[in-house]
């Protein structure tokens, strides 16, 4: 697990592991080579009622970026895709900001704010996100008196970058297209098999 995700609360890490297990996403970035020619496929296995729920979830990801981010499975899948493009820091920063806004303790808020800044915002940060100089300086100033909204501008610009750049590529990737095709087929099969037979006319 990357060092950044290690800073998340244990409950978040446990949920992430659970989602990865449920989805069956196998993403071995360290094994990717220049001749792979694309993204590792997301492999999934789901049965009975879970299959229908997961199918609806996957197909909903292409409706809007908001729906993707609001889906726990979608976030896991999108993060796996971003790892293949070596740009997972954008989503990790966005997630860190979402968790940051939930903090109620002023002391913890200040501590976490500086940790996020050092991890993602400052020059030469280990997970430096792609934001302009003005936004970087504004965020630095905000840290002088940290509030729940001190990363809002930087988070918004990072989100826009993902929505306009990475998200369209995710939807066009062989991994997502194959997954969507499989879920559509599974949904159609499930629907047809559960439909009542038409009454015969004598």
pLDDT digits (tens, 9 = 90+) for 92-117: 999 999 999 999 999 999 999 999 99
User: In this structure, is residue 165 part of a structural domain?
Assistant: yes
User: In this structure, is residue 199 part of a structural domain?
Assistant: no
User: In this structure, is residue 1 part of a structural domain?
Assistant: no
User: In this structure, is residue 119 part of a structural domain?
Assistant: yes
Q: Which residue is it, tokens 């729920």?
A: 53
User: In this structure, is residue 118 part of a structural domain?
Assistant: yes
Confidence of residue 184 (pLDDT cuts 50, 70, 90): confident
Count CA atoms closer than 13 A to 127's CA, side-chain side: 22
pLDDT in the model for residue 63 = 94
**For residue 124, what is the domain's CATH number?**
1.10.167.10
Q: Which residue is it, tokens 């809002």?
A: 152
Buried b (16+ CB within 10 A) or exposed e, 181-191: ebbeebbeeee
pTM confidence score? 0.69
pLDDT in the model for residue 185 = 79
Which helix H or strand E contains 95, and what residues bound it? helix 88-100
pLDDT digits (tens, 9 = 90+) for 66-83: 999 999 999 999 999 999
User: In this structure, is residue 52 part of a structural domain?
Assistant: yes
User: In this structure, is residue 201 part of a structural domain?
Assistant: no
- Give the domain range for residue 95: 10-30+37-189
Interatomic CA distance for residues 46 and 55, integer angstroms: 9
User: In this structure, is residue 161 part of a structural domain?
Assistant: yes
Per the structure, the count of domains in the chain is: 1
Poorest-confidence range of 24-28, 40-44, 103-107, 130-134? Answer: 24-28
pLDDT higher for 54 or 138?
138
Residue 146 has pLDDT above 80, yes or no: yes
Confidence of residue 182 (pLDDT cuts 50, 70, 90): confident
Cβ–Cβ < 8 Å for 7, 126: no
Q: At what angle do helices 106-116 and 88-100 cross, to 10 degrees?
A: 170
């Amino acid at each position: 697990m990357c060092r950044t995700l290690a800073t998340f609360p244990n409950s978040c890490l446990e949920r992430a592991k659970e989602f990865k297990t449920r989805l069956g996403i196998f993403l071995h970035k360290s094994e990717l080579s220049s001749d792979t020619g694309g993204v590792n496929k997301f492999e999934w296995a789901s049965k009975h009622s879970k299959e229908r729920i997961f199918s609806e979830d996957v197909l909903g990801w292409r409706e809007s970026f908001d729906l993707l981010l609001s889906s726990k499975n979608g976030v896991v899948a999108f993060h796996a895709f971003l790892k293949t493009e070596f740009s997972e820091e954008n989503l990790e920063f966005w997630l860190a900001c979402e968790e940051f806004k939930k903090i109620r303790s002023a002391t913890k808020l200040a501590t976490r704010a500086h940790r996020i800044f050092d991890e993602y915002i400052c020059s030469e940060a280990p997970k430096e996100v792609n934001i302009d100089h003005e936004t970087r300086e504004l965020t630095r100033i905000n840290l002088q008196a940290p509030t729940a909204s001190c990363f809002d501008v930087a988070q918004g610009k990072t989100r826009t970058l993902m929505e306009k750049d990475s998200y369209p590529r995710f939807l066009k990737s062989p991994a997502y297209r194959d997954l969507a095709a499989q879920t559509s087929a599974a949904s159609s099969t499930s629907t047809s098999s559960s439909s009542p037979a038409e009454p015969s006319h004598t």
